[in-house]
Amino acid sequence: MEEKKIIGIDLGGTTVKFAIVTLEGEIQQKWSIETNILDEGSHIVPEIIESINHRLNLYELKADDFVGIGMGTPGSVDRENGTVIGAYNLNWKTLQPVREQIEAGTGIQFTLDNDANVAALGERWKGAGENNPDVILMTLGTGVGGGIIAEGNLLHGVAGCAGEIGHVTVDPHGFECTCGKVGCLETVASATGVVRVARQLSEEYAGDSELKRRLDDGQDISSKDVFVLAEQDDPFALMVVDKVCFYLGLACGNLGNTLNPSSIVLGGGVSAAGEFLRSRVENYFNEYTFPQVRESTQIKLAQLGNDAGVIGAASLALQFVK
């Protein structure tokens, strides 16, 4: 008899990614479908079920070949009841009985968690986290999200907000955030945050700079533009990157001082700036950590890219292995 497998699902606002994963976390098959958010997102779960059943048929697999299905989802997750609510990019405003529907539709045990947590589980298991018991993932994308694994456990907190490191306060007098408070890491280190920092600093910058010129010219600037120009030694872009990396290093430093993980892993679109970003964050991290943490906690780049979600989601189903 062959070893059983897991299905990992990464449910996002534009695509649903699926993977068939071994118990060791190796992807054997992967595919994706578009997320159909019409009619209050009521087609999403049926289409997930249909896609799974279709693929199992294609690969000549049956429900009994799987220990379970794990899924990462946006919105507010009730893990105990297997439901999701308030996932606005899916149009899920009301309570969605996802587990009940997927278990009924596939005959496979199902479990879920939020997407940022699940990505952290993926990077910890098969990525930069090297399967260590203490790993933090910080995802720098449209927003800043994260997930924390400590003593081998994914942390949720009393109301499911553990790991919301995008809302750590890095400047008590900083920008207003969509969450209602000020100075959140997300306001200065997300893709739009980087541009916000650039616009703020440009008010005081008078030197020669292509980035400054584009901003003054009213052009649309992206976070990527800022990093590309900085790598080309644009002095103002370098100043912006330095400020962003200060905030990231301060936030990572305090995560290190508090939790002392083996690594803090930087992922998401902004982290595409790679070593250029990582090394600068690390410099500030070193400045804002005490010696034992500085020596034991590493700043790393994420390794799994888009696969973090499906792999981490699959890892949720390991709980079903007897």
Q: What is the contact surface with a copy of itself in residues (CB under 8 A)?
A: 132, 134, 148, 150-151, 153-165, 167-169, 172, 177, 179-181, 183-184, 246, 250, 253-255, 257-262, 287-293, 295-297
Residue 162 CB, nearest approach to a copy of itself (Å): 5
Residue 255 CB, nearest approach to a copy of itself (Å): 7
Sign of the torsion angle spanned by Cα atoms 97, 101, 103, 109? negative
Q: For a copy of itself, give the closer residue by CB, 96 or 187.
A: 187
Q: For a copy of itself, give the closer residue by CB, 29 or 257.
A: 257
**Bridging pattern class, strands 144-150 and 135-140:** antiparallel
Residue 228 CB, nearest approach to a copy of itself (Å): 28
Q: For a copy of itself, give the closer residue by CB, 106 or 114.
A: 114
Of the candidates 304, 322, 266, the residue with the CA atom closest to the CA atom of residue 21: 304
Residue 159 CB, nearest approach to a copy of itself (Å): 4
Q: Write down how long the chain is.
A: 322
Q: How far apart are CA 237 and CA 171, in angstroms?
A: 21
Q: For a copy of itself, give the closer residue by CB, 272 or 318.
A: 318
Q: For a copy of itself, give the closer residue by CB, 164 or 307.
A: 164
Residue 180 CB, nearest approach to a copy of itself (Å): 6
Q: How far apart are CA 39 and CA 31, in angstroms?
A: 24
The 8 Å CB, 24+ separation contacts for 93-102 are 93/40, 94/40, 96/41, 96/45, 98/45, 98/71, 98/73, 101/45, 101/46, 101/49, 102/45, 102/48, 102/49, 102/69, 102/71
